[in-house]
Amino acid sequence: MLATSPKFKENASAAMADAGLQQALARTKPRFIQKRANAAAGLPEFERLREIGRDIKNHTIAHLDFYLETFERNVIANGGQVHWAATAEDARKIVLDICRKANARTVTKGKSMISEEIGINDFLARHGITPIETDLGEYILQLRKEPPSHIIGPAFHLNREDWEKSFREGHTQLDPDRKFNERRDLLTEARTVLRERFMAADVGITGANFLVAETGTSVIVTNEGNGDLTQTIPRVHIALASIEKCVPTLEDATSLLRLLARSATGQDFSVYTTFSSGCRRAGDPDGPEEYHVVLLDNGRSNMIGGDFQDMLRCIRCAACMNHCPVYMTVGGHAYGWVYPGPMGSVLTPTLIGVDQAGHLPNASTFCGRCESVCPMKIPLPRMMRHWRERQFERHLTPAAARYGLGFWAWFAKRPGMYRLATRVAMGTLGWLGRKKGRFAWLPLASGWTAGRDMPAPEGGTFMARYARQARRG
Amino acid sequence: MAPETPRVALFVTCLVDMFRPTVGFAAIRLLEQAGCRVEVPMGQTCCGQPAFNSGDRATAADLARNVIAAFENYDYIVAPSGSCAGQMHAHYAELLADDPNWAGRAAAMAAKTHELVSFLTDVMGMQAVTARHAGSVTYHDSCSGLREMGVKAQPRKLLASVAGLSLTEMEDSEVCCGFGGTFCVKYPEISVRMVSDKMANITATGAETLLAGDMGCLLNMAGRLKRQGSGVHVRHVAEVLAGMTGEVPAIGEGKA
């Protein structure tokens, strides 16, 4: 996926002018927030569970090599195969190779952000293999040739009319008189079309919410059951997962599952939670003949031991973006790459470079709401700040901001000069603005005054007035 | 253990110093009413948050050292801002963690640094103020105060004791107003959209006055309200609690 993150400002501007998007955001925002709040309030140990979740992930990441090797050993013992992919390109080649060996013509797909990260759909299509998304939102986006705008609600940015239009355009066999009045009608149409695809597919690709080391199990959660059909019907199942999805035990996975759905959709549990351990055994009624796990690193192991290690705790619940006032103003596409919102603002620069994604960690007010709801207690603002530090060190911070900061810092480090300069400046501004109490325009302040007045200072500074009072006694 | 008459250093904050000196005097009055001896260390300028959040750690650390040197010998450090207090309380220790000469001093200062209103109630045990303010107000929870300093119930408790005042809560009072320090000028279009959403929630309460505990947010919200011709008055919560609203026009309003 070509990143448009360098054009974040332009993207955001267009997003704010997009009435349909704004309607979708306004409709969805309060729901997510309320549902998560209710779910958290309904579980007395929720806050304690967040600490447990954080500790499980911290422990796993500290011993990631051990747990990944344990996972691999157990997958092999179950009759499956593990493929290590250092880069996105490696992962694409591995997947293509498996598909070719299986003589695959069509591949069904469960929802997987890793598959977006490595751009597997376009790659398979270029090599003559047809990928079919089976998550309803992803399916619509595939019809529309759009990337997801949200990590758990990929079609977050669309309204019901958009869905209907996409079906009418994409499903050319549709009776024009067919009515799409309700969500159910849309689902029925998708189900009818997808059922055939599920049966015909040679390979099924899913993501993994967790990889359980002690059992060699991959775990997925869905609300539609599409993931189960993707991984049980075809002859070959490929689970695509990044290395930090690993947890030591089934017990750990269930602890994290208790946090995941509550933080994501406000459900106590997702409708389907599916554990896959290897391929079909003798006597099993169903299941694939081959079970492959592709373990993607793509820069993640470099995050261990550095400022961004905590990001590896992320379980992709999307609570951060659901609660982010910036995400809810501009939507997910504005961020310009696979992962939007606060978690994306930390992760994207590690994956595509801070020179490409530099806007993202800056486009935050550091309001801290993301961190306050993150089930893994990831200090997202702090890590966005670490990116700003990298930019500052590498002189990627815009020159005007850099000089402005330097000018201010020079005075701030010299209290005497600072006193004098602020007294003169505020005295002047206060005098100029004394009648109206505000300015509609000020030199060098267009960023502020384009949409806001600048309130005038009272006149004089506190420090000067205080010193005067002290002298008078 | 807090001494009976604690020596409190007022960290004025750069925005109060420059834009709204009355808030500094209101803070002194409230602290004295609560039984503190207040001093204003003259070596103070800025807590360094703009540099810290812009990625300039060296400047932020320099300024943090200045502040610590000027403030560490008081019983408490109090700021009429959750944002600046948050910087000192939640970030100085992290910022100076690798500096063996300063790490301990930063942590010690952080532990005794407070936001004004929560200090009055939680540390000094203030139950009520003597101020009067006839009219309806609504209160915006500034982000750092709320999430770094735990300021939520304290201003509401003291506002409830102001004679004549009625508080109407706005929808989404905990959602950021879009100020975000340099964010508001780096991404003005997004910032203005956010403050417009905030303005709609403020206006919907029908309150005559908007209060908050941080000058950054107040300048932002007042700037948008005034640009849109709103008649809502905007003030720092300390002005109302100290009974000093008569001394200065509301933020963004002229001397009538």
What pLDDT is recorded for position B2?
A: 55
Cβ-defined contact of A389 to B57 (cutoff 8 Å): yes
Residue of B nearest to A396 (CA): B55
- What are the strands of the beta sheet with B113-115, ordered from one edge? B37-39, B7-10, B76-79, B113-115
Give how far A423 is from chain B: nearest CA, Å: 8
Burial track A118-151 (b if 16+ CB lie within 10 A, e otherwise):
bbbbebbeeeebebbbbbbbbbbbbbbebbbbbb
Which chain A positions have a beta carbon within 8 Å of B191's beta carbon? 365, 451
- Domain termination site, one of A301, A320, A338: A301
Residue of A nearest to B193 (CA): A329
The answer to whether residue B187 scores a pLDDT higher than 70 is yes
Which chain B positions have a beta carbon within 8 Å of A462's beta carbon? 12, 16-17, 20-21, 23-25
Which chain B positions have a beta carbon within 8 Å of A465's beta carbon? 21, 25
Cβ-defined contact of B187 to A325 (cutoff 8 Å): no
Judge whether B67 and B90 are in contact, CB under 8 Å.
Answer: no
Tokens 């190779």 sit on residue? A97
Other C-beta atoms closer than 10 Å to the C-beta of B43 total 11
DSSP structure string for B47-84: -SHHHHHTT-HHHHHHHHHHHHHHHTTSSEEEES-HHH
Cβ-defined contact of B255 to A389 (cutoff 8 Å): no
Give how far A347 is from chain B: nearest CA, Å: 17
Question: Where in chain B are all domains bearing CATH 3.40.50.11810?
Answer: 127-247
Which chain A positions have a beta carbon within 8 Å of B194's beta carbon? 325-326, 329, 365
Give A238's contacts (C-beta < 8 A, 6+ positions apart).
A95, A98, A203, A204, A205, A206, A292, A293, A294
Half-sphere exposure of A385 (CA within 13 A, CB side): 22
Cβ-defined contact of A368 to B22 (cutoff 8 Å): no
Residue of A nearest to B55 (CA): A389
DSSP structure string for A421-454: HHHHHHHHHHHHTTTTSEES--TT-HHHHTTS-E
- Domain termination site, one of A264, A280, A301: A301
The domain tally of chain A equals: 2
Residue of B nearest to A364 (CA): B183
Mean pLDDT of B117-127: 98
Cβ-defined contact of B143 to A451 (cutoff 8 Å): no
Half-sphere exposure of A468 (CA within 13 A, CB side): 9
Residue B122 DSSP one-character state: I
Residue of A nearest to B61 (CA): A413
- Is this complex's ipTM strictly greater than 0.85? yes
Give how far B180 is from chain A: nearest CA, Å: 4
Which chain B positions have a beta carbon within 8 Å of A450's beta carbon? 188-189, 192
Report the CATH number at residue A132: 3.40.50.10420
Give the CA distances from residue A453 to residues A43, A188, A448, A460, in Å, rounded to whole numbers and listed in that order: 45, 53, 8, 20
Query: Can you say how many angstroms the Cα of residue B181 is from the centroid of all Cα atoms in its chain?
Result: 13
A272 shares its domain with A138:
yes
Residue of A nearest to B41 (CA): A463
**pLDDT digits 0-9 by tens, B12-22:** 999 999 999 99
Mean pLDDT of B16-39: 98
Give how far B130 is from chain A: nearest CA, Å: 24
Does residue A38 fall inside a structural domain?
A: no
What pLDDT is recorded for position B167?
A: 98
Cβ-defined contact of B45 to A435 (cutoff 8 Å): no
Does residue A244 fall inside a structural domain?
A: yes
Q: What is the pTM of this model?
A: 0.96
Q: What is the CATH number of domain B127-247?
A: 3.40.50.11810
Does residue A378 fall inside a structural domain?
A: no
DSSP structure string for A180-248: --SHHHHHHHHHHHHHHHHHH-SEEEE--SEEETTTTEEEEEESSSHHHHHHHSSSEEEEEEEGGGEES
DSSP structure string for A101-167: HTT-SEEEE---HHHHHTTHHHHHHHTT-EEEE-SHHHHHHHHHT---SSSS-TTTT--HHHHHHHH
Of B57, B193, B227, nearest to A329 by CB-CB distance is: B193
Cβ-defined contact of A413 to B255 (cutoff 8 Å): no
Tokens 């704004």 sit on residue? A22
Q: Per DSSP, what are the bridge partners of residue A372?
A: none
Mutate to test the interface with B, among A324, A326, A462 (most CBs of B within 10 A): A462
| Residue B127 host element (H or E) | none
Tokens 């192991």 sit on residue? A301
Domain of residue A430 covers 411-472
What pLDDT is recorded for position A174?
A: 83
Give how far B98 is from chain A: nearest CA, Å: 14
Query: What band does B63 get if pLDDT is binned at 50, 70 and 90?
Result: very high
**pLDDT digits 0-9 by tens, B93-115:** 999 999 999 999 999 999 999 99
Q: What CA–CA distance (Å, rounded) separates B13 from B1?
A: 27
What pLDDT is recorded for position A176?
A: 84
The one-letter amino acid at A287:
G
What pLDDT is recorded for position B220?
A: 98
Does residue A382 fall inside a structural domain?
A: no
Does residue A286 fall inside a structural domain?
A: yes
Does residue A385 fall inside a structural domain?
A: no
The answer to whether residue B1 scores a pLDDT higher than 60 is no
Which chain B positions have a beta carbon within 8 Å of A397's beta carbon? 54-55
Query: What band does B256 get if pLDDT is binned at 50, 70 and 90?
Result: low
Cβ-defined contact of B59 to A362 (cutoff 8 Å): no
Does residue A448 fall inside a structural domain?
A: yes
Q: For chains A and B, what is the number of CB pairs under 8 angstroms?
A: 215
Of B44, B50, B224, nearest to A452 by CB-CB distance is: B224
| Residue B154 host element (H or E) | helix B153-160
Interhelix angle A183-200/A160-170, rounded to 10 degrees, is: 40
Residue of B nearest to A422 (CA): B18
Query: Can you say how many angstroms the Cα of residue A34 is from the centroid of all Cα atoms in its chain?
Result: 20
- Domain termination site, one of A279, A301, A323: A301
What pLDDT is recorded for position A179?
A: 85
Of B45, B180, B252, nearest to A418 by CB-CB distance is: B45
Does residue A367 fall inside a structural domain?
A: no
Burial category of A281 from C-beta neighbours within 10 Å (exposed 0-12, middle 13-18, buried 19 and up): exposed
- Strands A438-439, A454-455: parallel, antiparallel or unpaired by DSSP? antiparallel
pLDDT over 70, % of chain B: 98
More confident site: B190 or A459: B190
Write out chain A's pLDDT in tens, 473 residues.
779 999 999 999 999 999 999 999 999 988 999 999 999 999 999 999 999 999 999 999 999 999 999 999 999 999 999 999 999 999 999 999 999 999 999 999 999 999 999 999 999 999 999 999 999 999 999 999 999 999 999 999 999 889 989 999 988 888 888 888 888 888 888 999 999 999 999 999 999 999 999 999 999 999 999 999 999 999 999 999 999 999 999 999 999 999 999 999 999 999 999 999 999 989 998 899 999 999 999 999 999 999 999 999 999 999 999 999 999 999 999 999 999 999 999 999 999 999 999 999 999 999 999 999 999 999 999 999 999 999 999 999 888 889 999 999 999 999 999 999 999 999 999 999 999 999 999 888 889 999 999 999 998 999 999 999 988 87
